[in-house]
Amino acid sequence: MATITGNLNERPARARRGYSSLHRLGELAIESLIRLCGWSAILFVFGIFFFVFREGAPMLFGGLDLVKFFTSTDWNPVSKTPSYGILGLLAGTASVTVLSMALAVPLGLGAAVFVSEFCSPKIKEALKIAIEMLAAIPSIVWGFIAYMMLNPLIIWVTGAPVGLNVLNASIILALMSVPVIVSVGEDALKAVPDSYREAALALGASRWEIVYRVLFPAAKNGLLAAVLLGIGRAIGETMAVLMATGNANQIPTSPLDRVQTLTATIAAELGEAVQGDDHYRVLFVIGILLFVIAFVVNLSADLIVRGIRGKQNA
Amino acid sequence: MPETAMRGNGSKHFRYFVAAKPNGSTGDGTPEHPSRSIREAIEDIRVRHAGDSPSVQRLNGYDRIDICSVFKGPTTSDTKQRYEFFVDPLGASDLAIGSAQLPWPDLESALEGVAKMDAEGAIPLGPGEHLSLSVREVFSATPVDRRKRRHERIAQVVLGLVTLTLVVPLVAILGHLVYKAWPVLTPSFLFENPRNQMTAGGVWAPLIGTFYLVFISLLVASPIGVLAGVYLNEYARDNWFTRVVNLAVVNLAGVPSIVHALFGVGAFVMFANMGESVLAASCTLAIMTLPVIITSTREALASVPMNFREACWNMGASRWQTIRTIVLPNSINGILTGVILQVSRAAGETAPILFTGAALYMTIPTKGLRSFFPYSLQDGCMALSYHLHVMMTQVKGASPEAIEAGKSLPLEHLQYGTAIVLIGLVLTVNSFSIGLRMYLRSRKKW
């Protein structure tokens, strides 16, 4: 009569015959490699911060007046007495982001609701492909579109002397961030249990009532995360806004004003900056700032989404 | 003018008032000026609600008319129901008497019936009492239903239009680009180098450069990305550390591309001493596009049912053996879609390669085998996306004479040509990914 000895949870592979220690070693090696790759994402995020910080730190901790950095609009890095004030650039980024979100959020959430709740499976498939295509257009091509198509269009419609301005960049950014909002928003709506919809239907609600009385409250965190990710996309976009904003460092007073954003400044000036000098390092300080903004936006989006997951599990 | 009220379900409720003690002048049916008799009230109702004139206020399902008997003057209009009659278009019967079981088929016959009963003195109304005439339409939509349906249609149309405003620009942009680029869309545009200070020729050098960047970044990113996806789906436990890893992946995807460029400059160009080279640019692109591969690998692995793994473990296979022989073969196509997506992302990015290895202008062989391997990994290369940037910002158009002489092409043609090659490349690669995914879904066995 055989008795079971040892721990049942022990991996059976160890007891098998013909399974040499070489195999085991190989397996150990590949598992360590997998773990290492899994952890690499953390490594890379830290690496990005570290290397950007390393280049920017000498300026950040010596020579840069942080108060002036954030409150002055005087960005003049190449003069004899250089001044580094990014308020104008911040205002540029903020104005473009806000206006683009004002366009993209209704469009994106509306499209997410339509795709998720209102259309037939075939149309849904087609729309998702179209939105994926929209997401796939490279940012430099968006910049090209802003420059060659939207620019004359805006001049023609508004009569402004130049069509490269906040409005132009906002439209382009809205079209660029809408796919993010649609796909994340649709996921959020899909995550609402069908029993909610069924309960509402049983009470006689129409589909639209289900959407705004049941789905919106139930999925509001996910939808908020979608908007946040859209904002992240808009703030971080570089090449398209470099082409579309007209690049004039000023605080805009109307959508037809030209502006310059943080990202575009780096892209436009890093090539000319002498490696290691103050101008070069200040651009890296802006990079640190962008990294931190992106980190905060993504972190809050993640926390919000995880918040709902946690509640649903409980 | 009688009182009209909307009821909770959206139906209308009309009240006609009749004086309990008629004295002289007749009124118009309001509580202040009641009609003199039920007969007069019925005449009013017939004029306002029956017949064919266009001003008639038709009664719909659930609407109700009350004939209320009141004392003249501003008395309270609350009255008690004494008689209840019904109209039901579906319940028509020859024996209709207005009861719940035998309702009148329409308002005209109902009014006739009520008038007859009134003439016979069968329905005396005391002060503070009313008789009601309800239109029953049990199986048709209530006004609230109708309103709901209208709102729903409006919502559908509005949301559909919103969605359409996303598709229209896509079509317009692609159409415009193709239309404008049509004159230069010839094979020679693809297979020639830019010439004459980039005022003539094609996009061969940038095209090959883009292939270089994409291929090398793929070599770097796909093993790391796939293994990271395997780790997250197969090895990682549900604990805080995995959350941190996930967060890192999300953040890696969210870091602005220009910050990736700064990272590339700091880490690869300077720290790793690669200089501005194909290698540095590819590594930057690889890290930037890593999250695409990680996410899609994880999704592909997660779609393999758990029983597959359990069955394999029960056969005595170890974790890695299970992954190698069961999980990966069953998800390889899904992983592939992610890899293809990475290719399309890497091909289109400009900012990360701006300062890490994109060259303004290079001439490469266009004939023979060398034309496919022209770049050295230690040097920079041209790239389509950067080339488009340069064409827009730094190239001056050729003089009209040069264009006339056939030595140069109009700048606009070259710009649109470059843009269409880039977007064509990206969308083609992307379509492969989409096509593969749809094919997989149609063939899915579990």
Whole-angstrom Cα distance, residue B436 to residue B422?
Answer: 21
Whole-angstrom Cα distance, residue A74 to residue A65?
Answer: 13
Q: What confidence score (pLDDT) does residue A15 get?
A: 47
Residues of A in contact with B350 (CB under 8 A): 138-140, 238-239
Buried b vs exposed e over A294-303: b needs ≥16 C-beta within 10 Å?
A: bbebbeebbe
On whether any CB of chain A is under 8 Å from the CB of B244, the answer is yes
Residue among A190, A176, A174, A172 nearest A112 (CA): A190
Q: What confidence score (pLDDT) does residue B402 get?
A: 79
Token pair in block for residue B272: 């790793």
Q: Which residue has the higher pLDDT, B440 or A127?
A: A127
Optimal mutation site among B152, B157, B163, interface A, most CBs of chain A within 10 A: B163
Each residue of B166-203: pLDDT tens digit?
899 899 999 999 999 888 888 888 888 888 777 788 88
Domain extents in chain A: 75-313
Alpha-carbon distance B183 to nearest alpha carbon in chain A (angstroms): 17
- HSE-up of residue B219 (Cα within 13 Å, Cβ side): 8
- At B139, the pLDDT band (50, 70, 90 cuts) reads low
Q: ipTM of this complex > 0.90? A: no
Is a pLDDT exceeding 70 seen at residue B322? Answer: yes
The residues, any chain, with a CB within 8 Å of residue B134's CB and separated by 6 or more, are: B62, B63, B64, B84, B85, B86, B87
Give whole-number Cα distances, B263 to A77, A290, B7, B268, B356, in Å. 22, 12, 67, 8, 10
Per the rule left: phi > 0, alpha: psi between -120 and 50, beta: everything else, B237 is beta
Each residue of B225-260: pLDDT tens digit?
999 999 999 998 888 899 899 999 999 999 999 999
Q: What confidence score (pLDDT) does residue B397 get?
A: 76
Please give the model's pTM, rounded to 2 decimal places. Answer: 0.80
Which H/E stretch holds residue A167?
helix A166-190
Question: Nearest residue of B to residue A261 by CA position?
Answer: B258
The superfamily (CATH) of domain B185-443 is MetI-like (1.10.3720.10)
Q: What confidence score (pLDDT) does residue A311 get?
A: 55
Whether the CB-CB separation of B346 and B218 falls below 8 Å is answered with: yes
Whole-angstrom Cα distance, residue B246 to residue B253?
Answer: 11
For A75-313, the fitting CATH number among 2.60.120.10, 1.10.10.10, 1.10.3720.10, 3.90.76.10 is 1.10.3720.10
Q: What confidence score (pLDDT) does residue A294 get?
A: 93
Residue B177 CB coordination number (10 Å): 22
The residues, any chain, with a CB within 8 Å of residue B60's CB and separated by 6 or more, are: B11, B12, B135, B137, B143
CB contact under 8 A, A302 and B231: no
Q: What confidence score (pLDDT) does residue B388 get?
A: 92
Give whole-number Cα distances, A177 to A100, A243, B168, in Å. 9, 17, 16
Q: What confidence score (pLDDT) does residue B209 get?
A: 92
Sequence length of chain B is 446
pLDDT tens for chain A, residues 1 to 314 = 444 444 545 455 454 555 678 888 888 999 999 999 999 999 999 999 999 999 999 888 887 888 888 988 888 888 888 888 999 999 999 999 999 999 999 999 999 999 999 989 899 999 989 998 999 999 999 999 999 999 999 999 998 888 899 999 999 999 999 999 999 999 899 989 999 999 999 998 888 999 989 999 999 888 999 999 999 999 999 999 999 998 888 899 999 999 999 999 999 999 888 888 889 999 999 999 999 999 999 999 888 877 655 555 43
Question: Nearest residue of A to residue B253 by CA position?
Answer: A298
CB contact under 8 A, B170 and A133: yes
Whether the CB-CB separation of A196 and A215 falls below 8 Å is answered with: yes
Is a pLDDT exceeding 70 seen at residue B308? Answer: yes
Alpha-carbon distance A72 to nearest alpha carbon in chain B (angstroms): 23
- At B77, the pLDDT band (50, 70, 90 cuts) reads low
Q: Which residue has the higher pLDDT, B153 or B407?
A: B153
Whole-angstrom Cα distance, residue A43 to residue B290?
Answer: 12
Q: What confidence score (pLDDT) does residue B1 get?
A: 60
Question: Nearest residue of B to residue A266 by CA position?
Answer: B258
CA angle A55/B283/B280 to nearest 5° reads 65
- At B72, the pLDDT band (50, 70, 90 cuts) reads low
Helix (H, G, I), strand (E, B) or coil at A270: coil
Token pair in block for residue A102: 């004002």
Domain extents in chain B: 3-140, 185-443
Alpha-carbon distance B361 to nearest alpha carbon in chain A (angstroms): 15
Q: What confidence score (pLDDT) does residue A310 get?
A: 55
CB contact under 8 A, A137 and B254: no
